[in-house]
A and B are shown apart, each in its own frame.
Chain A
Amino acid sequence: MTPRWRHERFGAIVALDEPPLLAHVDQELAQDLGIPPSPLWKEPPREALEAPEEAHLTLTRRCNLTCTHCYQDSSPRTADDDLTLAEWLLRLDALARARVFHVAIGGGEALTRPDLLDIAAAARERDITPNLTTNGTLVTEEFARRAAALFGQINVSIDALPPVRVFGTDKATAGMRAASILVRAGARVGVNVVVARQNFDAIAPVVAWAAATGLVEVELLRLKPTGRARVRYLEERLTRAQRERLFPLALELASRHGIPVKLDCSAAPFIACHAPDAERLERFEVAGCIGSLSLLGVDERGRTSGCSFYPASTDDVLDLARGWDGSPAYAPFRDYVRTAEEPCRSCPYLRSCRGGCRAVALFLTGRGEAPDPECPRVEDHCARA
């Protein structure tokens, strides 16, 4: 695939699939690469990009499993009112017109849709790189062979290795098998681990297994209080000690096993509390909430949101060209830095962390624009107050 690029006010975004990267380049470097100047370069800078870099597509809310921590409340009984293939193709057209670079496809379980590979192929035809998250239970040799040629990367969800069983389902055995099949088929494969109180000590074995199996990375995801996960969130969320341990643990495991370990955007406060180099945070996009700045959530009906954990708006992604700049649904995300309350306002990491997770704030305080109450700095501030 040839390099893809898109003008931005600061210069351009350049995307490669091999090696996989997104680079924001200034106007001078953009021109040096042969990218022509744009009228956008005369516009004042702003935080939100001109369009999303990446969209998260919930192709379906149906799932063959019923995990207790599911952020979508998915199950085999979930009503089937998903967009059809033809309807998704129109949404992919809208994303392609906006020059979105990547889509992350998930659910529910996306493999319950027989047309999943058609949708992925349609994204490729539109110069959009499709990526996939799956629980792995429906992965076959034939699927793996076709998927390896289509997806940029496939992550399998495994929250602990057997015999440890968490979140009400035993999906790890099938997930481990699926990961091995996909690796053998030549796919680029990673693993997602939702991290909660009960499986915190199970992270290290998953990382060791991933490295030994030839996976390319491990992503640690903070449990979020949405969907079915709301029910037991207060008992299952990370303790203060675990939140503070997460970042050093990720570094230790990455170093020990020689595999990249990622923390998801909601974990930014747990990185910031260790006072890392702020410039490096920004330069290498170790970012907090980027909902509606460079990221767009799209639900199974095509409705958009700042991120997949936040309630969907009534806007359809078909109207992305108008909605991206005009929708009030993105205000809790876009206005955060400008309107931040204490202790975020005076935090040196405000611009990169952006107040932690909006979904956690909405659940615990009733206000999506509040500082994340599980940030150690916020917790200390509230205790003093």
Chain B
Amino acid sequence: MRTLDVEQLRALLPDIGTAGLADAAASDRPLRGRILKLKLGFNPNSSSVGTTVVVFLWSLVASGAVLSFTAAVLAHRFRRRTRDA
């Protein structure tokens, strides 16, 4: 079972936090499929849509890590939803 390096990812993505994963395993098994697009944060602006330029401060390796982390967050949340149902 793989675990997330939450501190490293928090440094990459201060906005995303740890999503309750600090004490959780990332995933019981590797996820299949992929994230095609990822939009981080809310968009409160009611006239146009903003996109963060911070992604250009990430290295190529780090941007891959962000997508992997996000997939793990989604898997965790969907599992919890199933458990709680």
Interface set of A (CB-CB < 8 Å, partner B): 2-3, 10-11, 14, 16, 18-34, 54, 56-58, 71, 102, 104-107, 129, 131-133, 151-155, 188, 190, 192, 216-217, 219-221, 224, 247, 250-251, 254-255, 258, 260-266, 271, 276-277, 280, 282-287, 290, 295, 307-309
Contact = CB atoms under 8 A, between A and B. Distances in A.
B81 interface: yes
A236 B79 CA distance: 52
Contacts of B42: 20, 102, 129, 131, 152-153, 188
Nearest 3 CB-CB pairings of A with B: A106-B46, A29-B33, A28-B33
Nearest to A107: B46
Nearest to A254: B54
A19 B16 contact: yes
B45 A155 contact: yes
Contacts of B31: 29, 32
B73 A280 contact: no
B14 A286 contact: no
Contact of A57 (B15, B34, B46): B46
12 contacts: A18-B19, A18-B20, A26-B36, A29-B32, A102-B43, A154-B44, A192-B44, A254-B57, A283-B63, A284-B39, A284-B63, A308-B48
B81 to A, nearest CB: 5
B35 A23 contact: yes
B37 interface: yes
Given A3-B77, A250-B53, A309 B35 contact: no
A21 B53 contact: no
B52 interface: yes
Q: Is the interface of B mostly helix, strand, loop or mixed?
A: mixed
Contacts of B56: 251, 276-277, 280
B84 to A, nearest CB: 8
A129 B42 CA distance: 9
A370 B81 CA distance: 47
Given A18-B17, A20-B42, 12 more contacts: A23-B37, A25-B36, A26-B36, A27-B33, A30-B33, A32-B33, A129-B42, A133-B46, A153-B42, A251-B53, A251-B57, A284-B63
B25 interface: no
Given A16-B77, A32-B32, A286-B55, A264 B37 contact: no
Given A32-B31, A129-B42, A258-B14, A295 B49 contact: yes
Given A260-B15, A262-B53, A104 B33 contact: no
A24 B35 contact: yes
A285 B37 contact: yes
A21 B63 CA distance: 15
A247 B41 contact: no
A247 B81 CA distance: 40
Nearest to B31: A32
Contacts of B77: 2-3, 16
B47 interface: yes
Contacts of B40: 19-21, 260, 284
Contacts of B32: 28-29, 31-32
B82 interface: yes
Given A102-B42, A282-B37, A271 B47 contact: no
